[in-house]
Structure 1
Amino acid sequence: MTNNQMMKKTLNAIINRHFLSSSLTPVFTVELVLLALYFGISAFITTKTMNMLLDEAKQNIREISSREAQNINQQLKEISTFARLLQSEHQMFFENPESFGLPYGTPEFSVADNGVFYKTTYNGGSSLYYSSTTKITDKEHQKALKTEAFDPLFKDIVTNNPNVVQVYINTYDDMNRLYPFIEDVQKQFPASTNMEDFNFYYEADAKHNPTRGVVWTDAYLDPAGKGWMMSGIVPIYNKDFLEGVTGIDVTIEKFVDNILKLDLPWQASAFLVNKDGMILAMPEKVEDYLNLKELKAHAYGDDKLTTTIKKPEEFNLLKNQDEEVVAQLQKLFAGHADMVDFTARGNNFLLSQEIIQETGWRLLFLVDKEIVFEPVFELKQLARKIGYVVIFLMIVFYLGFVLYLVKKSHNLSTKISAPIANLANLSSEMVDNMETIEIKRMDSDIEEVSQLSNNFNTMVIHLKQLFANLEEARNTLEIKVEERTHELKEALENLKRTQQELVQSEKMAALGQLVAGIAHEINTPLGAIRSSVGNISKFVEQTLGQLPAFFDSLPKEQKQGFFALLQRSLQQETLFSVKEERKFKRALTRQMEQHDIKNAATIATKLVSMGIYDNIDTVLPLLKASNGADMIQTAYKLSGLQKSTQNISIATDRASKVVFALKSFARFDTSGEKVQATLIDGIETVLTLYHNQLKQGVEIIRNYAQLPQVMCYPDELNQVWTNLIHNALQAMNYKGTLEIEATIEKTDVLINITDNGPGIPDDIKQKIFEPFFTTKPPGEGSGLGLDIVRKIIEKHEGKITFTSTLGKTTFTVSIPI
């Protein structure tokens, strides 16, 4: 080995010697250990604090639940005391009815058309009802009369106890006396009622209540029209004969408002269940937790209750569909623990119970753990921020350290790069003067650089030969590239035309599926117009010719009153619901009957139809006139003209909207240039065309932000909305909820289309955008819809994504602004 060769060193040895002398490993390791210790100790302290807070919360909840249970028990005991007081008075009455008087005077009774014997007018006391199946003799008449003695105590209990809504007695012969007084009680109950069929009667009989004490019913639907309630009932015996049952009613709404509306720490909520797990009463917050809506009010309609209707099984916690929820409640109800961890709808709670001694019901308390741990979470967030500051300072330190290493390594890089730079200069000369470049030998004390110089000289020799061959080949290649470029341009134009034709074909296919529905949407307003025109024509034929003579026959004062009535009707544009119309008709009928107006019910119907439902003092002179019925009938016909013209206007607007949407959808833009457009307009166009499919069972939820106009191809985007909405409707089988959300995120407009269909199976999620892939039967889908959608979005430099789980699928379209 020569002396020159011994002085040469490898490049790897030089780099290792310089960088190992400034190793980062020890410092980096120490800093990592310190960070691990900091975050580990912080996590330990957080865990200990959370456990301490949880123990404190459990203790407080136990104390609060015990106190509130005693409070509720006291309120129920108060009602039970009233019930026993009523029991004592009523049993004394049936032993000696002659010793009781009539506190509000002699009431008036009558027999309704349906055979019901009832109290006709309010005299300050209760209403009375006798089933039509009961034969009213002097005995029954005397009972109805003498039991008026119950009313003062009934009234006192309802007036002085805010929890009580009504007090009553039901007797074995199907008599009902109830306070407060019910107007038209003969219509509230069925004509034929068997009191023994209701829980508020049979649960107090000898079979169910041998001790003859106070019994509390579960929640049931009140046949007297007060909605959902619970009752404290007692039997009324005359010696050993059950004369009837007396009850005190507390509605669920009263129970929630007056008893369960508690001011509890940690935003806790209380609700009440019976011993079998059936929810009796709960506030709104518990409704949200359990995904149930408390039953309070009830729309009775024309149906009368003939038997007990209790809460549906979905309110029974022990029959919940979630087996985990049932297991947790069974553990609590079995008495193995007075408090358990409870999970509902993804939220973690503490659930405790207390037994209401008076009724045996369970008072349950729910506390959200997240609220309990909120102070700890804030402390944890602060510790995390401090950790981030430490990390930032470490980064700053390492940046300074790196700068130091860069400076130190500069000497090494210079030593390595100087000879290589010489080779770079030679290579530059080689590019400009390949044929004349001179081969030079470079010496270096780095073995790799020396070897590189030798290889470079060898490469130059080969390149000179290859350069000559390349020059010759380049001339030939330029000609071939030009020809191939022309062919590719033609292919690209053909591809664009094909894609536009495919989009238009898909649009026309979708439009073909909607034709029947669109025809219905146009025919419906046309039918309304035809009907309204017929009404106007009928009026002209039958009434118009009679108007001059009619007006001539009216005195001046009646003319003024008639035109004032007509003007008031024409100014009324509000449409009433059926329930409101019935309410207004009853009120008007009573007012007119008080003024001895004949055919009051018929005239009330016409006035309400004209929009006149109150303040009839100005109309009374017309109604009392001998020709009042004729004036009301003529005014009723004239006001009908306005309604017909309104119907024509509404129907015309609807048809115009459908035609405009159809025109916008079917348009095919051949200019190929982007235009300013609002995305929501296109979505609404598609929804208008799908209106016939949507109105039968699909709820549309629109959440539109204020969107700017974007540069786009609106006709092609209409195809995007059509495909996504059509797929969503098919997934839901045209029954469900379709939610469309439009928002702005940074520089993009986001459109989310969500359905609550069964979702997309996991095994096909990766395939849905592939061309010709479809899950529909042959002949119902080409498999090109979502592939076309994706290409249109990419043409707009946007993106389309989706998420799908059981019961929820969302497609998100992002378009740049």
Structure 2
Amino acid sequence: MKYLFFIPILILLISPACQSDRKVESDSHFLLLDSVIQKVEADLKPLEDDISQLAAYSSALFEKSDSLVPLVNEDKFLTDDNGFFYNALDNGKESTVFISLLAENKNRSVREVFTTEWLDEAFREITETRPMVCQVYFNSSSNFSRLYPPYDLLNSIEQDIDVTAFNFYYMADEVRNPNRKSVWIEEVYIDPVGRGWILSLIHPVYHDNELKGVLGFDITLSDLMDSFLENYDKKLMLIDSQGTVVAGKAEAIEALSLPPLKNHAYIQTINSDSFRREDFNLFKSKSKEVRRMASKFLLEKENHHSFDMAGRLFQTYCRKMNIMDWYLLDIHD
């Protein structure tokens, strides 16, 4: 019986030690997440300055429009039988340019196409100095588009496309972006010219207090994943504020019992036509535990959650990014 007296004391001694060990382990996971986020944002943050400077340069071009338009070689532009205006590319160093058939004032659009010819050199410089940026573009309020690197226009775009109808345009307009600053399009989307799922940074261009168009930098999710997540031997996953998986390692996707992955490669799935955003939304998971985890992180703003999946105990750690409303998860078993 006398030994029973020491049991409570032993428990009191062991308990703080266990809690200390758990805290050390927890801190290590958060340090990892903070490190990954820091590296991601170290590459993404400078793009905000780049696109702001490019917007200022674009505004200056419109200021000099009268002197710039006569300098353009008009012969490289074609108009087909439908009245579709576009440029004939021959060297791969110029943007693909077209004016939508929906343009209300074609003469105005043509003039602005000529005015923005000098953006091509700046576009090339961005893609050469910022490997994360796969394409740069200017979409005009007068319904023309200029995009670099060039692409197969006639087999990629409907001639009556409305370039102002996409979120990579209207999220920077006067109503949604009254501060006229750069905006991250946090909801990934399918690129109209075939580069798969895209994350975009956009910035409005104004002249004489009129919105002339929107600049954009595109980053493919495959590049984002290759650059960051694959460098770590952890089950890492990026989700947006709605609980949809933006990018993730195959092990993390499988741990949460999300849909089967083609060739066990998430990026191949997300680039395919069969990808459906709702299939990769944690709030719509068939697992109550996964839905509860999403609620803990996104709604209750907690940063740690334990759950059981098929007899496996998982510890999941969460950190919110700074420049976007995205969350990085470390799923640990």
Task: Tell me the TM-score range normalised by the shorter chain.
Answer: 0.7 to 0.9
Please give the TM-score of this superposition, normalised by the length of structure 2.
0.83
Q: How far apart, CA to CA, are the structure 1 residues paired with 2:192 and 2:70?
A: 27
Q: Is 1:63 equivalent to 2:31 in the alignment?
A: yes
Give how far 1:314 is off.
Answer: 2.1
Find the counterpart in structure 2 of residue 330 from structure 1: 295
Find the counterpart in structure 1 of residue 86 from structure 2: 118
Q: Is 1:233 equivalent to 2:202 in the alignment?
A: yes
Number of equivalent positions: 310
When residues 115 and 284 of structure 1 are mapped into structure 2, their CA distance, relative to the original with a 3 A threshold, is farther
Find the counterpart in structure 2 of residue 660 from structure 1: none
Q: How far apart, CA to CA, are the structure 2 residues paired with 1:348 and 1:102?
A: 69
Q: How far apart, CA to CA, are the structure 1 residues paired with 2:144 and 2:308?
A: 48
Give how far 1:219 is off.
Answer: 0.6
Partner residue of 2:330 out of 365, 371, 376: 365
Q: Is 1:297 equivalent to 2:262 in the alignment?
A: no
When residues 171 and 340 of structure 1 are mapped into structure 2, their CA distance, relative to the original with a 3 A threshold, is same
- Give the AA of the match of 1:314: D
Please give the TM-score of this superposition, normalised by the length of structure 1.
0.36
Find the counterpart in structure 2 of residue 284 from structure 1: 250
Q: Which runs of 5+ in 1 are unaligned?
A: 1-45, 301-309, 369-817
Give how far 1:341 is off.
Answer: 1.3
* Matched position secondary structure for 1:164: coil
Find the counterpart in structure 1 of residue 40 from structure 2: 72
Matches within 5 A, 1:738-757: none
- Give the AA of the match of 1:129: F
The question of whether the paired residues in 2 share the 8 Å contact of 1:107 and 1:121 is answered with: no
Q: How far apart, CA to CA, are the structure 1 residues paired with 2:77 and 2:301?
A: 58
Find the counterpart in structure 2 of residue 202 from structure 1: 170
Q: How far apart, CA to CA, are the structure 2 residues paired with 1:104 and 1:262?
A: 46
Matches within 5 A, 1:131-170: 131-134=100-103, 137-170=106-139
Q: Percent identity?
A: 26
Q: How far apart, CA to CA, are the structure 2 residues paired with 1:342 and 1:214?
A: 39
Give how far 1:344 is off.
Answer: 4.1
Q: Is 1:348 equivalent to 2:316 in the alignment?
A: no
- Give the AA of the match of 1:91: S
Q: How far apart, CA to CA, are the structure 2 residues paired with 1:75 and 1:103?
A: 37
Q: Deviations over 1:296-329 (max 9, x none)?
A: 43459xxxxxxxxx95222221232322221222
The question of whether the paired residues in 2 share the 8 Å contact of 1:170 and 1:245 is answered with: yes
* Matched position secondary structure for 2:230: coil
The question of whether the paired residues in 2 share the 8 Å contact of 1:117 and 1:186 is answered with: no
Q: How far apart, CA to CA, are the structure 1 residues paired with 2:83 and 2:311?
A: 56
- Give the AA of the match of 1:316: N
- Give the AA of the match of 1:172: S
Find the counterpart in structure 2 of residue 177 from structure 1: 146
Q: Deviations over 1:528-571 (max 9, x none)?
A: xxxxxxxxxxxxxxxxxxxxxxxxxxxxxxxxxxxxxxxxxxxx
Q: Is 1:191 equivalent to 2:159 in the alignment?
A: yes
Matches within 5 A, 1:565-580: none
When residues 220 and 56 of structure 1 are mapped into structure 2, their CA distance, relative to the original with a 3 A threshold, is same
When residues 349 and 174 of structure 1 are mapped into structure 2, their CA distance, relative to the original with a 3 A threshold, is same
Matches within 5 A, 1:5-20: none
Find the counterpart in structure 2 of residue 314 from structure 1: 279
When residues 163 and 102 of structure 1 are mapped into structure 2, their CA distance, relative to the original with a 3 A threshold, is farther
Give how far 1:174 is off.
Answer: 1.5
The question of whether the paired residues in 2 share the 8 Å contact of 1:262 and 1:270 is answered with: no
Find the counterpart in structure 2 of residue 528 from structure 1: none
If you compute each CA radius of gyration, which structure gives the higher value, 1 or 2?
A: 1
Higher RCO (CA 8 Å, separation ≥ 6 residues): 2
When residues 70 and 114 of structure 1 are mapped into structure 2, their CA distance, relative to the original with a 3 A threshold, is same
Q: How far apart, CA to CA, are the structure 2 residues paired with 1:148 and 1:318?
A: 46
Q: Deviations over 1:711-752 (max 9, x none)?
A: xxxxxxxxxxxxxxxxxxxxxxxxxxxxxxxxxxxxxxxxxx
Q: Which runs of 5+ in 2 are unaligned?
A: 1-13
Give how far 1:136 is off.
Answer: 6.8
Q: Deviations over 1:401-433 (max 9, x none)?
A: xxxxxxxxxxxxxxxxxxxxxxxxxxxxxxxxx
- Give the AA of the match of 1:287: I
When residues 268 and 76 of structure 1 are mapped into structure 2, their CA distance, relative to the original with a 3 A threshold, is same
Give how far 1:100 is off.
Answer: 4.8
